[in-house]
Each structure stands twice: as structure tokens, then as C-alpha cells.
Amino acid sequence: MVDITPADGIPPAEIAEVELYHPHSWWTKYVFSQDAKVIAIQYSATATGIGLVALVLSWLMRLQLGFPGTFDFITPEAYYQFITMHGMIMVIYLLTALFLGGFGNYLIPLMVGARDMVFPYVNMLSYWVYLLAVLVLVSSFFAPGGPTGAGWTLYPPQAIMSGTPGGQDWGIILMLSSLILFIIGFTMGGLNYVVTVLQGRTRGMTMMRLPLTVWGIFTATVMALLAFPALFVACVMMLLDRVLGTSFFMPAISEMGAQLQHNGGSPILFQHLFWFFGHPEVYIVALPAFGIVSDLISTHARKNIFGYRMMVWAIVGIGALSFVVWAHHMYVSGMHPYFGFFFATTTLIIAIPTAIKVYNWVLTLWRGDIHLTIPMLFALAFIVTFVNGGLTGLFLGNVVVDVPLSDTMFVVAHFHMVMGVAPILVVFGAIYHWYPKATGRMLNETLGRFHFWVTFLGAYLIFFPMHYLGLMGIPRRYAELTDMTIMTESAHHLNSFISIMAFIVGFAQMVFLFNLIWSIRHGREAGGNPWRATTLEWQTPQTPPAHGNFGKDLPIVYRWAYDYSVPGAKEDFIPQNMPGSFGPSREPA
């Protein structure tokens, strides 16, 4: 054990006091608040609200797929609209906003030992622009022609033609405007998350002492800042194509026998721009989940994370690699074989850092003191689900296997497992873990276990059968396939089964929401550190943390975030801000 504390004591944290904005009224305290914790709650609540819309949309889709022809109001056009809005909301307005805007805002300042984000005013603006983006998105449901039905990838030329719902109406315009707003709002927030990690860390909190949650959110934010501009460019150019008749993406094309004025545009260009954003987006959602799950496992297994350095390198490595794999979403666009070979190779290389992470999680569990708390259950479920989803990624990453599987239900099953279910499981685990800090009360245990088992098993019952449907060749994005020979009797039964499971899992989420609201008043008192965790957010003088987070003096950090079960220490965890050295020498021989 190297104790590098200087003999003459530690000077107090010598960080210039942040100029904290002190609210004067109820409005500036709870609504137009500049406190990152309030903004985090606002982000989370808005994301959950719009996420519920997406959940209902998925039910409507399942109604149609499971029981085709039964519900008259689900026309093919409506089905496309449900699919599009479901995908877009879940990926961008729910997951991205929740992980970065919600968890990022709440956890970064607390975990790095800062009083608030470095630019609180910009941070507040970020939320309000995000809310505006969500409102514009919602407004498209009420616009003439309804929301766009172009699919969440919004591929031109179909996205802005009259055959697609919303293509020549308001739908696509509102969608693109909403995305542009979202990106502007996110950039404001993202600057805060990055610069707070760079500049807001308290004394002693080196980058290599950061909890992996912060590393995950930090790297994901850097990626998002560099990837979202690609979507921005694509949206602006498509908006010009649609509104002002330019031909960035629109080739010469005729519609209903009439020649459109577009000429020579390249739909492939849109695909490149879209996926240059779209692939990093997968990891923008996954990296915060990786980070959070590392902390959950370490805390609830009472054991230091295995291979901390390797975990950091893997996060950074995945972040860098994810920018050079985008074209694996475009294997069927007719690309040069060498091009496909290159992207297949880079895609498969990502499996290396990802596998390192999985091994390290499993090795952290090995001989740990595993407490099967609800956050731990969700973390374990995440590992399993992520591995499952990742394995089908190996299929789809290879050009020759991808081509026949492209646009089948297999793809749907793959990405729902790997970037839908897996990150959402982490979101749930993280909420069960940090809810006591945010509210001072525990979530109800019985309801929580019910929620976990139904969600975990149910998600498998939904998405596992979809792999088989996909292998049978059943395509995605079709409202009705009843008359086709591939839709055998058994495939129909499977579809109905999936739909019923989807309703049950959706119902479990209602139980979870009830738990969230009910426990604010009726939950068990949690105390300041119910999980006996080491990181700084659990060491605040008040729970929930007050404005300014840490009372009079900022904490000084003396150790890394994972001192669990240190031999010789009084308790099985040593908070990061506790001085002194413990335990026998852990120096390598």
C-alpha cells in the first residue's frame, strides 16, 4: 500500500468557489432552476413521459402484428407512424436524454465533487430546448396528416414523398425540426457534462479515480457531441429538400406519374450521414450503461471492480472505434466488397473491448459477497442480455450473413436486445440504486422484485421468438403479412404470443411508475448511504443533497471509488473522502 499523503497534512480543497446561482423564488427553484439536480429530474420526467407515449405505440403495433385485421383503426399508414415514432422516441428522446440529461446531470457534479455544473445557465437552457423539441415532436401527432411514417431512419426519397404518411404533410417537417432542436439543446448540455468532468473535479479526484459511471457518461457525451452534428447536417439538408425543393438527397423521381422537380440527389449520402451519427448513437446509449453497471456490480458484490484500468481503456477504445463502423448498417446499399470487408472487420474488432468489459464484470462477481438487491438483479440481467444481443451482432456484422437477414425480424430482435432492453435494464437498476439519494426513501422492495422478474423474463419472451421469425424470413416494417406463404400458422401463434407478453411487460412498467410515485411519501427512510457505497454522492451532508451539494467544504478525495472489503478496514467500504491507509500491503510482489 502506497500512502502518498504528505506529512504536513492536506490543505483544504483549493477550488475557487463556483459562483452559485441562488434561487429567489419558487419558480427559479423548481421550474427555471439552474441546479443540475433539479434539471436532472426535469429531464428524467420529460423523457419518461414521452417514453410512455412510445410504449403505448409499441402496444398498438403489437395489437396489429399479433391480431391482424382485428383493429380497424390501425391502418397501414397508422402502423408506419407508430413504428417511426416508437423508434425515434425510444432511441433519442428517451434513452439519450435519460442517460445523459438525467443521469449525467444528477451524477456528474455529485460524483466528481463539484457544487454544480460549470455553466448552470446553459444547462438550464439545454433542458428547455429539449422540452421544446419534445413538444414539437408531440405536436406532429395533432398536425394534418399525422406524424411521419418514414421509419426511424427517415431514408429519402420515400421520407418526403406523398406515399409516406406525413411525407408531403407536416409530419416530416416537424420531425426534422424537432431533431434539430434536440441537437441544439443536447450540445448545450453536453458542453456542461464534458467541461464539468474536465474542470469541476474536486481536489484529489484524478481522472483515474473517477467512478466508471462518470467515465461512461463522459465518453458517451464526447461521442455525442461529435456524432450529433452528422444528424444535424442530414436534417437540415432534408428539410431544404422538402421545403425549398433542393436536390441534396432527392434523385430524379416521378410520383403518381408526375415528374418531381428534384434531380440527381444521392439517397446514399443521407445514409452515410445518418449512420455516421446512428452507429455512435448505439454506444452513446451503451457506454453510460456500461459505466453504471460497473458501479452497481462493485457496490452490490462488495468487491472492487476487476481491472479498473482496463475498463477505462475499453470505454475509450469503444468510443473511438464506434466512429469507423457506420457502414455496417448499409451492407445492402450496394457498396464495394472491400468497403464491406473493411467495415465488417472494424465491427468485429469492437467485440474485443466489449468482451473485456464482460469478463471484468464476471470476474468482479467471482468470490464477491453478492447481495441480490434489486439494482444487482438488474445489473446481472443486463450482462446476460447484453451478451445475448452482442452475439447476434456477430451474425449481422458479417456481410454475407447480414445480407439475407437484413430487414427481417432478426434485426429487430438484435437491436432491441442490445440497445433497447439492455440499457433499459440498467436504467431501472440505476433508478432503484439512486432513488434513495434523490428522494431520501427506498423504493418498495416487493413491487420492485415483481417489476424485475416480469420485465426481465418478459423481455426474453418477447424478443427471443423474434429471432426465429427473422430466420424464417419474416420482414420488419410490414403492417400485415397474413396472405404470405412464409407466415405459417406457427408464426402467427408466435406473433400473438409475443403481443400478449408485450402487454404484460408494459403493465409491469405501470407498477414501476406507481412505485416511483408512491415511495416518495410512503417508502422506507433510506438514510444517507443505504447501500454502504464509497462514491462521493453518498457522502453528502444532506439527503437529498441540498443546493451546492456538499455543505461548507468540498470533499477531498483520498482514494479510488472501489475500496470495498479492504482487509483490516473497520467496515467493508471506505468512502473516497476518508483519509488514511488501510489493509496489508497490496503491492505486487
C-alpha cell belonging to residue 435: 432513488
Smallest gap, in angstroms, from Cβ of residue 41 to other proteins?
Answer: 24
Q: Which stretch binds other proteins (CB under 8 A): 65-73, 99-107, 266-274, 432-440?
A: 266-274
Enumerate residues 159-188 that contact other proteins by CB under 8 A: 187
Q: Which of residues 290-329 bind other proteins (CB under 8 A)?
A: 304, 308-309, 312-313, 316, 320, 323-324
**Would you count residue 246 as binding other proteins (CB under 8 A)?**
yes
Of the pair 46, 126, the CB lying nearest other proteins is at 126
Element spanning 43, H or E: helix 36-66
Q: Least distance (Å) from other proteins to the CB of residue 243?
A: 10
Q: Is the peptide bond before 544 cis (omega within 30 degrees of 0)?
A: yes
Please give the helix or strand (H or E) that residue 509 lies within, else none.
Answer: helix 489-522
Helix ranges (H only) for 200-322 are 212-244, 267-300, 308-321
Rank residues 31 and 252 by Cβ distance to other proteins and give the closer one.
Answer: 252
Q: How far is the CB of 381 from other proteins (least distance, A)?
A: 28
> Which of 222, 412, 426, 469 is close enough to bind other proteins by CB under 8 A?
222
Q: Report in angstroms how near the CB of residue 533 gets to other proteins at its nearest.
A: 17
Question: Hey, what's the cell of 73?
Answer: 383503426
Amino acid at 307: G
Kindly tell me which residue out of 90, 98, 194, 235 binds other proteins, with binding defined by CB under 8 A. Answer: 194
| Sign of torsion over alpha carbons 268, 77, 506, 94 | positive
**According to the binding rule CB under 8 A, does residue 158 interact with other proteins?**
no
- Is residue 557 at the binding interface for other proteins, with CB under 8 A as the rule? yes
Short-list 33, 573, 589, CA closest to 301: 573
Cα distance between the two ends of the chain: 12
CB 12 within 8 A of CB 111: no
Q: Which range touches other proteins (CB under 8 A), out of 38-46, 172-180, 264-272, 290-298? A: 264-272
Among 37, 86, 201, 303, binds other proteins (CB under 8 A): 201
Report the distance separating Cα 432 and Cα 508, nearest Å: 15
Q: Say how far apart CA 291 and CA 111 lie, in whole Å.
A: 13
Stretch binding other proteins (CB under 8 A), from 34-42, 203-211, 511-519, 538-546: 203-211
- State the binding string over 5-34 for other proteins (x if CB under 8 A, else -): xx---x------------------------
Task: Please list the alpha-helical segments (H only) found in 301-407.
Answer: 308-321, 337-349, 351-365, 374-397, 399-405
- Helical (H) or strand (E) element with 258: strand 258-259
* Residue 84 vs 221, nearer CB to other proteins: 221
The residue behind cell 464495394 is 336
416 contacts: CB under 8 Å, gap ≥ 6: 389, 462, 463, 466
DSSP for 154-197 reads: --TTGGGSTTSTTSSSSHHHHHHHHHHHHHHHHHHHHHHHHHHH
Cβ-based neighbours of 557, under 8 Å, separated by 6 or more: 113, 202, 203, 204, 205, 209, 536, 576, 577
Residue 264 near other proteins by CB under 8 A: yes
Binding test (CB under 8 A) with other proteins, winner from 89, 97, 134, 273:
273
| Region binding other proteins by CB under 8 A among candidate stretches 201-209, 387-395, 431-439, 468-476 | 201-209
Applying CB under 8 A, what is the total number of residues that bind other proteins?
A: 69
Q: Is 248 in the site for other proteins (CB under 8 A)?
A: yes
> Could you say whether residue 450 binds other proteins (CB under 8 A)?
no
Q: Which is nearer to other proteins, 134 or 191 (CB)?
A: 191
Could you give the CA distance from residue 353 to residue 170 in angstroms, rounded to a whole number? 43
Is residue 198 part of the contact set for other proteins (CB under 8 A)?
yes
Binding of other proteins by 558 (CB under 8 A): yes
In the set 62, 86, 209, 441, which binds other proteins (CB under 8 A)?
209
Using CA atoms, how far apart are residues 298 and 213, in angstroms rounded to an integer?
12
263 lines the binding site for other proteins (CB under 8 A): yes
Footprint on this chain of other proteins (rule: CB under 8 A):
1-6, 10, 118-119, 187, 190-191, 194-195, 198-201, 203-204, 206-209, 222, 225-226, 229-230, 232-233, 236-237, 240, 244-248, 261, 263-266, 269, 272-273, 276, 304, 308-309, 312-313, 316, 320, 323-324, 556-560, 562-563, 579-581, 586-587
